Amino acid sequence: MNRYPRDMAGYGPNIPAANWPDGAKIAVQIVLNYEEGGENNILHGDAASEGFLSEITGAAPWPGQRHWNMETIYEYGSRAGFWRVHSLLKDTPITVYGVATALARAPQQLKAMKDAGWEIASHGLKWIEHKDMPPEEEREQIREAIRLHTEVVGAPPRGWYTGRCSMNTIALAAEEGDFAYIADSYSDDLPYWMKAAGKDQLIVPYTMDCNDMRFAIQAGYTSGDDFETMVRDAFDMLYAEGQAGAPKMMSIGLHCRLIGRPSRAAALKRVMDYMQGHEGVWFATREQIADHWTAEHPPSNAQRPSQMDRDTFVDTFGGIFEHSPWIAEGAHALELGTYSDSAAGVHNALARVFRSATDAQKLGVLTAHPDLAGKLAAAGRLTAESSAEQAGAGLDMLTDEERTTFTDLNDRYTGKFGFPFIIAVKDNTKSSILDAFRRRIDHDRDTEFREACKQVERIAELRLIEKLGA
C-alpha cells in the first residue's frame, strides 16, 4: 500500500475534551532539563567538546579537545542555576528531563528534586546527537540510560525525551522502555496516541517556542522580557481556549544554565506569578498528564481507512458513489495517510478518482443513480442509502399528484440529458427539490452534467459523514 507515514492530521476539528482535574481551563507543564555533566566532553569518552545551547555565539565542537569556556558555562547550571530555579519552583509540580550520566554526577541536586516531589524523566544516557547513530547503538544507549537512571534515582523513568533524537528514537524507546509517555514530538497542544514498536504509545508533546533554549540561538530571546512575553501570550491564548470549552496543555522548557542566570530568572518569577494569579490552572508533571490522558482517552483500536486492506476498503466504501466500487478501488491505490482517516479524508480520495475519470465513466456513475421517487423506489429496490435519503425528504410519501409531477419531470429530464436528475436530498426539502428540478431542466447538457457530478460528490460526502462522523 502507498501510505504516507507522517501524521499531518492530528485531532483536526474534533478536539477531544481534556477534562483536566477540577475543571481546569489549562494544564501547565514545566520541564527543567538537567544536562550538566552529560554533555559532549572528551572526559566522557566523546570525540569533541560541546557546541550546543550555550552563551557562546556560533560555538562549534572542538575535536579532541576540552573547551574551558563551554565547560564552565555548563557548570554554572549545576552549581548555581539549578539552585536558583529550585528556589522558585520547589513548590510547583514539574518534570525534570534528567540525562542519566548528569544525574549520576549530581547527588545533591537529585535529592532536592526528589524532596520537591518533582517527576524525574529520562533525557537519555548522554546529552549528545543521535541522528547518525546506528539503531543498535542507540538501542544500547537507551537500555543503559534506563539502567543507570534506575540505579541513581531509585526507580525507573516513566517518561522519555531524547531531544537530539534520530528517526529511530521513538520506536526504540517504546520497545525498550515501559514508558507512560514519550515526549520527542512538538506536533500538538494535547497528548496523542501513536503506534510504535507494534504497540500503542502515548506521546506528550514538548515545546521549542516557550523554551529558554531561545536565549542560546540566533532567532531567539535577547532579554528576559522576550521570554516572559512569549510565555504569557501562549498562556493567554490557551487559557482563553480553555474558557471557550477546549482546554489544552501548555509546555514550558527550562535549562539550569540558561534560565538559571539572574538576568533571566527574574522573568521566570514574573511569569509564574502571572499564571498562578489565574483560577482554573492545573500545574502538573508530564507523568500526571499522561496518567490522566490514559484514563480519559485510552487508545482506540478502531480500524482506520488508511490501514484497511483493499477488499475491506472497497467493502466499506464501494457503495458511497452509487454502484461504482471502481472508485473505491482507485482511492485505495492512492497515497493515503492519517489525513485520510476521516469523512473528509476518504471523500477527498474518492472524489479525486471520480474527478479524474473520463466523461464516459462519470456518466456511468450518474446513470447508476435511481430516479427520484421513481419506479425503483415504488418497487422497494433502492440501495439502503438511497432509500433512507429519499425517505428523509418525504419522497416515499407522495400524493398521487406529486408522484405524477415527479414522474413527468423524471421522464423529461432523462430524455433531455441521458441521465437521471441527481440532487443531495439531505440538503433539501420536497419543495426545494421540485424547484431545483424545474430550474435545472432548462440547463444545457454540459452545464447540467457538471451540476450532476457536483451533486454526486455531495451525496458521497453526506454518506461518509453518516458513516464516519464529521
What 3-state DSSP class applies to 337?
coil
Say if residues 123 and 35 touch (Cβ distance below 8 Å).
Answer: yes
DSSP 8-state assignment for residue 81:
I
Whose cell is 483536566? That residue is 20
Cell 528576559 found at: 224
| Given the residues 255, 292, 369, 443, the one annotated as active site | 369
Kindly give the pairing relationship between strand 26-34 and strand 281-283. parallel
SS3 percent helix, strand, coil of the chain, rounded to 5, is: 50, 10, 40
Query: Grid coordinates standing for 52?
Result: 550546543
Q: How far apart are CA 448 and CA 459, in angstroms?
A: 16
Pairing verdict, β 119-122 and 95-98: parallel
Q: Specify whether 292 is catalytic.
A: no
Cα distance between residue 230 and residue 191, in whole Å: 22
Residue for grid cell 481534556? 18
Q: Residues with Cβ < 8 Å from 102, sequence gap 6 or more?
A: 34, 35, 36, 37, 38, 39, 78, 123, 127
Note whether 123 and 98 are within 8 A (CB). yes
- The C-alpha atoms of residue 61 and residue 41 are separated, in whole angstroms, by 9
> In 246-355, at which residue ranges do the beta strands (DSSP E only) sit?
248-255, 281-283
- Which amino acid makes up residue 69? N
374 phi and psi angles, rounded to 5 deg: -95, -160
- From CA 437, how far away is CA 20, in angstroms rounded? 52
Bridge partners of 199, per DSSP, are 196
3-state secondary structure (DSSP) of residue 24: coil
The gap between the terminal CA atoms of the chain, to the nearest Å, is 26
Bin 180: left if φ > 0, else alpha if -120 < ψ < 50, else beta.
alpha
Gap between the Cα atoms of 461 and 223, Å rounded: 51
**CA-CA distance, 273 to 276, in Å (whole number)?**
5
What whole-number distance in Å separates Cα of residue 305 and Cα of residue 341?
5
Residues listed for the chain: 470
Q: In the numeric block, which cell numbers belong to residue 44?
A: 566522557
Positions marked catalytic = 369
